Each structure stands twice: as structure tokens, then as C-alpha cells.
């Protein structure tokens, strides 16, 4: 029997949460909604059993709270994803933990980070065309196989998830962590892998101008990945909070703009023309070449679409929510590119995102990104803190399931 935070199926609560957070006033109460209306409960339930050989039980040391988790709890995530999840599940897919069973190449007690994607190999399913070509994040078989439906550990009822004292993982999902890397850095490896993958989704010609919309964890890590992996280009960051602006500049952003002034500032730097529609926000005729949308909110995507030049690219790296006017995509002939999770980088598998992320995490300036971890018992506080992280000067909130 282990302590775990369990998300249960409750259409009523989901709709109630969505209803509240969709209003203007209610969106300010997202922390309260995510903690109290969402069907998340702290329970004692039996630990999940490994579904077969090649699986090990893992005891998490630190589990991060991701924006997608918060979106789920606030009812803002899309029902599209319901078939690729199986309830009740334990959330938590950004995990650094210790293995509890022996695996070839990973002795018992090793410290590992989790690549949460549950693709053909963990599922023991016949290899789909994507897993065969090293793009496991696009797996078609996420609903079949040895474990129940679930696109990732943390959305699957059979595997458990990071927000508990124990879950199970397949050896293909686990990557060893060097002893020199602290738990706080290791827990950032998974989101960093997603950022690396995002950056690799587009070609960056030198001289391109880039804007990163949003300066939370995703935005900051995308900025970091851009600076490490692409040629030096001017990168503008749209950040709402003061401490985010400071950090973005420290990570190498060319300029940082608060959301209200971003369009004007980019207009000047790209010598574009700005127009204000009768309803809706202003947009540029002209603008940057590539925009990375890292907030996961409707207004962020809206901003990104309105800042990009004709023929430009908008990369969606945050899980989207809300409704967005897609007229700019049609009129300006934009490319809308989605970036989800991470993979091994193509048929030859020679650019695995996860391994690159581990390398980067060892040297990147990631001190003080993770707040002191919360115990599972104080989960409502932790969720409330994570929802308001920007305003409260934090970047990443994590659980330490072993802390009382």
C-alpha cells in the first residue's frame, strides 16, 4: 500500500472546473479550483505490479508538476486526450527516482530519470511505423498492449505515476543519472528533453529572428535549448513577471518584453507594420521568422500567430487550451508545427533528445530552478503554488514523496 495522488474519472468535476476557470474571474481562482474541484485525491492504494519482464518498480525522489498536469486539474485540457488516458491514474511524468528491481544495465538502486512516453516497446506491442523509425513520441499503439491506454506514465492506470511513492517503468524508459547531478537538476531533464525536441522540430537558418512566448519552465528551457543547439540568432522573449525577465536575460535572450508591449517592440525590431483590429489584439504585417509558443494558453498562441511574418512558423510546445482564431494561419500562410515530448531523432536514432538533455542539464545554469519540494500531504498547497508560480517568483515546483 503506497501513498499516491490519484486522479479519478469524474465528468461532473471536470466540467465544473472547466466552467469556473473559463470565466475571467474564475481564472484567477485556478489554484483553488485545481486543488479542490479537480477529482484528485490522496489515497493509500496497492502499489502497481510490474506487468512483465523488463519492467522495474521505481521509487520517485522528486516529481515535478508540469503545466499539462495543471491544465488537467483545472479542467482546461482537451477531451481529445481522453481515449489515450486510462482512469484512475496517478499523475506525474517528470520524475527522478531509484529503481527497486534488477534490470540488465541498471542495477537495483540506480538513480534514473524517466522518459514517460509509453510506446510500442514498453507495451510489448507490434512495432508501429513511428517506433520503428525512432520517433516513439508519435507511437500509434498507445492504447494497446500490456498496460492500459496511456500516452505517458502519469496518464496510465496500470503504471502509476510520479506523484506517489512507487510506480513501474520499462527499462527503455529509464536513463541513468550521473552521480554528480543533483536531484533538482535531474527532475528538469524531462522538460529539457521536450525543449530540445521542440527546437529540433524546425530548421533554424542563421539570421532568423525568433520569439519565445512565455517564460515559465517550458519557455526558459526552450530558450536554453535554442542557445545551445541552434546558430546564434536574436531571440526575443515575452515574459510576464519580473523575475522571469531577469532569468531570461541571464540565459542569453536578446531582449525581454512584457506581454502588453511585445507586439510594439517586435514591430520596431523587425521593421514591420502594426495593425489593430476592431476586436482582438494587434498583429504585425511583417514580424519574426519563428515563434515558439510556450504558455499553453489561448492568449499565448494568439500572440504567437500575430507576431510571425508571412510564411513563418509557429511551434506549439505547450499543451494548448482554449480557443484561438486561426485566421492568421490561413492568411499569412503560416506553418503551425506541434512539438510533443521527445524522441530519438529519426530513423538512425542518432540524435536522442533525452541523452542530449542529460548532457545539457549537467552544465546549464539551472541552480534554484526547483523550489524546495513539497510532501504529498501538502499537495493542495503545491498545486496552488505551481499555478501561481510566475507571480510567486518560482519556476518549477516538485513533490518529494518521501518527505513527511
Partner 1 sequence: MAVRDEIRLLRHGRDWRGRSTVPRSADPWIQSEEEREFPTGWARSRVAVVVRSVLRRGLLRPVTWSQTRPVVEGVEYLENLRGPAVFVANHSSHLDAPLIVSSLPRRFADRLAVGAAADYFFDARVRAAATVLFFNAFPVERHGSRRLRSLAVDLLDDGWSLLLFPEGTRSEDGWMSAFKPGTAQLCVSKGVPVVPVALRGAYAAMPRGRNWPVPGRPRISVRYGRPLHPLDGEGFRELRTRMMRAVVRLSAEEELGWYGALRAEADESLELPRRSAERPGPAEWRRVWESTRPLDPRPQRRVWTF
Partner 2 sequence: MSRPGFVLEVDERTPPLLVHQGEGFRLERLPLGSKVVYPPDSLPGVRNVDAAIEYALLNPMGIEPLPELLKPGMRLTIVFDDISLPLPPMQTPDVRQRVIEHVLELAAAKGVDDVELIAGNSLHRRMTPAELKRIVGERVFRSFFPDHLRNHDAEDSANLLDLGTTDQGEVVELNRRAMESDLVVYVNITLTAMSGGPKSVSVGLASYRSLRHHHNVQTLRHSRSFNDPPNSAMHHSYERMKDLIGGHVTVFQIEATLNNDTFPASTGFLNKREWEWNLADQGRYLAVKRANELLPTKSRRRLWQATAAPYGVTAVNAGTPSDVHPQTIANVHRQQLTEVQGQSDVAIFGLPYICPYNVNSIMNPILVMSLGLGYFFNLYRNRPLVRPGGTAIFYHPVPGDFHPVHHPSYIDFFDEVLTQSTDPAVLETKYEQQFATDPWYIQLYRKSYAYHGVHPFYMWYWGAHALEHLGEVIFVGGNRRTTARMGFKTASTLADALEIASHTVGTSPTISYLHAPPLVMADVR
Q: Which residues bind partner 2 (CB under 8 A)?
A: 241, 243, 391-394
> Is 299 near partner 1 (CB under 8 A)?
no
HSE-up of residue 176 (Cα within 13 Å, Cβ side) = 11
- Can you tell me the distance from the alpha carbon of 116 to that of 373, in angstroms, rounded to the nearest whole number? 21
Q: According to DSSP H, which parts of 11-60 are helical?
A: 11-22, 30-36
31 or 145: whose CB is closer to partner 1? 31
- Can you tell me the distance from the alpha carbon of 169 to that of 96, in angstroms, rounded to the nearest whole number? 12
Binding string, residues 21-40; x marks residues near partner 1 by CB under 8 A:
--------x-xx---x----
C-alpha dihedral over 214, 391, 35, 9, to 10 degrees? 0
- Can you tell me the distance from the alpha carbon of 196 to that of 198, in angstroms, rounded to the nearest whole number? 5
> Is 1 near partner 1 (CB under 8 A)?
yes
User: Are 292 and 270 contacting, i.e. CB atoms less than 8 angstroms apart?
Assistant: no
HSE-up of residue 213 (Cα within 13 Å, Cβ side) = 30
> Is 392 near partner 1 (CB under 8 A)?
yes
How many residues line the site for partner 1 (CB under 8 A)?
A: 18
263 or 394: whose CB is closer to partner 2? 394
> Among 43, 84, 249, 274, which residue sits at the site for partner 1 (rule: CB under 8 A)?
43
Q: Please, what is the minimum distance in Å from the beta carbon of residue 51 to partner 2?
A: 42
362 binds, among partner 2, partner 1, none (CB under 5 to 8 A by kind): none
32 or 298: whose CB is closer to partner 1? 32
User: Are 8 and 353 contacting, i.e. CB atoms less than 8 angstroms apart?
Assistant: no
Chain residues 342-371 in contact with partner 1, contact rule CB under 8 A = 371
254 binds, among partner 1, partner 2, none (CB under 5 to 8 A by kind): none
208-235 core/surface letters (b: 16 or more CB in 10 A; e: else): bbbbbbbbbbbbbbbbbbbbbebeebeb
> Among 101, 258, 385, 402, which residue sits at the site for partner 1 (rule: CB under 8 A)?
385
Q: Please, what is the minimum distance in Å from the beta carbon of residue 58 to partner 1?
A: 22
Q: Which residues bind partner 1 (CB under 8 A)?
A: 1, 29, 31-32, 36, 41-44, 371-372, 381, 384-385, 388, 392-393, 404
Amino acid at each position: 500500500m503506497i501513498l499516491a495522488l490519484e486522479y479519478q474519472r469524474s465528468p461532473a468535476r471536470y466540467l465544473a472546473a472547466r466552467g469556473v476557470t473559463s470565466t475571467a474571474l474564475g481564472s484567477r481562482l485556478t489554484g483553488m479550483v485545481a486543488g479542490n474541484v479537480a477529482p484528485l485525491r490522496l489515497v493509500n492504494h496497492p502499489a502497481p505490479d510490474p506487468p512483465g519482464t523488463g519492467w522495474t518498480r521505481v521509487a520517485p525522489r522528486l516529481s515535478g508538476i508540469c503545466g499539462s498536469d495543471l491544465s488537467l486539474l483545472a479542467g482546461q485540457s482537451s477531451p481529445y486526450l481522453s481515449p489515450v488516458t486510462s482512469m484512475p491514474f496517478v499523475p506525474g511524468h517528470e520524475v527522478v527516482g531509484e529503481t527497486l528491481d534488477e534490470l540488465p544495465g541498471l542495477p537495483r538502486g540506480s538513480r534514473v530519470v524517466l522518459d514517460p512516453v509509453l510506446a510500442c516497446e514498453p507495451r510489448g506491442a507490434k512495432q508501429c511505423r513511428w517506433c520503428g523509425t525512432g520517433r516513439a513520441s508519435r507511437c500509434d499503439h498507445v492504447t494497446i498492449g500490456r498496460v492500459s491506454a496511456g500516452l505517458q506514465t502519469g496518464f496510465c492506470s496500470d503504471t502509476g505515476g510520479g506523484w506517489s511513492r512507487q510506480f513501474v517503468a520499462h527499462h527503455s524508459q529509464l536513463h541513468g543519472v550521473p552521480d554528480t547531478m543533483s536531484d533538482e537538476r535531474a527532475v528538469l531533464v524531462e522538460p529539457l528533453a521536450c525543449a530540445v525536441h521542440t527546437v529540433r522540430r524546425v530548421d533554424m537558418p542563421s539570421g532568423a529572428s525568433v520569439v519565445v512566448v512565455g517564460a515559465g519552465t517550458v519557455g526558459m528551457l526552450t530558450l536554453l535549448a535554442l542557445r545551445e543547439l541552434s546558430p546564434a540568432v536574436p531571440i526575443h522573449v515575452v515574459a510576464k513577471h519580473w523575475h522571469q525577465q531577469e532569468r531570461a536575460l541571464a540565459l542569453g535572450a536578446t531582449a525581454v518584453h512584457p506581454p502588453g508591449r511585445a507586439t510594439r517592440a517586435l514591430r520596431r525590431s523587425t521593421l514591420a507594420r502594426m495593425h489593430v483590429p476592431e476586436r482582438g489584439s494587434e498583429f504585425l504585417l511583417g514580424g519574426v521568422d519563428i515563434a515558439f509558443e510556450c504558455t499553453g494558453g489561448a492568449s499565448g498562441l494568439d500572440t504567437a500567430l500575430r507576431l510571425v511574418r508571412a510564411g513563418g512558423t509557429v511551434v506549439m510546445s505547450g499543451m494548448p487550451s482554449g480557443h484561438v482564431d486561426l485566421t492568421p494561419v490561413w492568411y499569412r500562410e503560416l506553418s503551425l508545427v506541434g512539438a510533443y515530448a521527445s524522441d530519438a531523432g529519426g530513423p538512425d536514432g542518432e540524435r536522442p533528445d533525452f541523452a542530449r538533455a542529460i548532457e545539457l542539464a549537467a552544465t546549464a545554469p539551472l541552480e534554484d530552478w526547483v523550489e524546495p519540494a513539497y510532501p504529498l500531504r501538502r499537495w493542495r498547497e503545491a498545486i496552488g503554488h505551481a499555478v501561481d508560480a510566475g507571480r510567486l517568483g518560482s519556476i518549477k515546483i516538485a513533490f518529494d514523496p518521501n518527505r513527511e
